[in-house]
Structure 1
């Protein structure tokens, strides 16, 4: 059975692959029937170059693509072309439909966010929320400290006023006590008791 699969080339940690039609009983890097394209996963973004007509020929004759190759061919629109051919579309209609499909796919890929970017955005949002929470907490603590300072100043002022009032009362109190202790001034009148005894 003929398989459409990847054949590894390149060096260690820098692979690229040929997309080949080969006998399924042969080794991965063994003899091939036909080379159909090239795939480079290391490039950014990954590049795929496929001979569309030959790939479609092999699929029509019953060649089975591997899972990875099938995914690559779907992304290139090969299966969409086969679908349109089955519906008896003209080559012009097929080309127009596939090109519009690729444009929509590229626009969608440009608008979507990669997992890495999404994680980075989530971390940034979390950091921003944490900073906002810290700022809010610091403002609340500063407000509480200011309220405590004002309350302390008020209490100190009240205590000072109370001390001054007590001091003023204490200064006034000896004068009244001295007046109470002073002997009564002698007047010309004799006491009533003395007059009786005479």
Structure 2
């Protein structure tokens, strides 16, 4: 039966990950498989490839056909290079020692390229972060400088206003003090008669009592009036005596 080395999808939506499997070519993509030989995660940079190189090489040598994506992965890991050298060994074109030596050199060269790419990506990321920080710092410095300039202008304007209105301010203060003193003097003058008024009323009270006592004196004089009224009665008695 025809055998393929292909990817079987798994993972979340928009976060796909894949298993590298050996399966029957007639089986569905995510269906039954013969053997799992690795994983592939395209969400990282560079992509993460975890592959059992020996198993992949054995299946390739047995005639399993990789899909285009898996072929690129196998080339990246040196499996296809190893197959090419092994075919040369089988045909007698080169010895096994020479094939192993060439494969080792190729793997070292490939590893240095991969490491160079990783370092370049890390450097680019650090440079972008530094540039962003520098731009942010520049904006912050410009904003701080603008605020400082505005504060200096406001301070200068305030000093100029104080210098221009210094004399007027002194006159205003003197006028305010004079008004306060005048108001205090007026309050003192207004309060003095109010405090003396009760004393004067106290002095006048005896006069009122004298007026009230006048009727009592009139009452004492009333008996005199009665005496005056009794006098005609005595005169009448004397006239009766004379007539008798």
- Calculate the TM-score normalised by the size of structure 2: 0.45
Equivalence for 1:65 = 67
The reply to whether residue 19 of structure 1 matches residue 28 of structure 2 is: no
Residue aligning to 1:128? 137
Within a 5 Å distance, the mapping from 1:31-180 to structure 2 comes to 31-33=32-34, 35=35, 37-39=37-39, 41=41, 46=48, 48-52=50-54, 54-55=56-57, 58=60, 61=63, 63-67=65-69, 69-79=70-80, 81=82, 90-113=99-122, 123-156=132-165, 160=167
Deviations 1:19-51, CA, capped at 9 Å, x for gaps: 223233212344435x36211649999450222
3-state SS, counterpart of residue 112 of structure 1 = helix
Structure 2 contact 3–65 (Cα < 8 Å) conserved: yes
Tell me the equivalent position of 2:187.
Answer: none
Alignment gaps of 5+ in structure 1: 165-198
Q: Secondary structure at the match of 1:133?
A: helix
May I ask how many residue pairs the two structures share in their alignment?
A: 158
Q: Is the 8 A contact 1:3 1:66 kept in 2?
A: no
Question: How far 1:96 sits from its partner (Å)?
Answer: 2.0
Residue 125 of structure 1: how far off its partner (Å): 4.2
More divergent stretch after superposition (101-110 vs 73-82):
73-82
State the 1:83 CA deviation. Answer: 7.0
Q: Is the CA contact 1:16–1:40 (under 8 Å) kept in the aligned structure 2?
A: yes
Distance change (3 Å), C-alpha of 1:136 and 1:90: same
Tell me whether 134-143 or 40-49 shows the greater mean CA deviation: 40-49
> Within 2, Cα distance between the matches of 1:118 and 1:71?
31
Partner of 2:6: 5
Partner of 1:180: none
Greater relative contact order, per chain length (Cα 8 Å cut-off, separation 6+): 1
Supply the distance in 1 between the matched residues of 2:115 and 2:27 (Cα, whole angstroms): 37
* SS state at 1:113 partner: helix
Higher helix share: 2
1:172 counterpart residue number? none
Distance, in Å, in 1 between the alignment partners of 2:84 and 2:138 is 50
CA-atom RMSD, angstroms? 4.6
Distance 1:77 1:90, change over 3 A: closer
Kept after mapping to 2: 8 A contact 1:80/1:98: no
Q: Aligned-pair distance for 1:115?
A: 8.8
Deviation at 1:131, TM superposition (A): 1.6
State the Cα distance separating 1:52 from its structure 2 match: 4.2
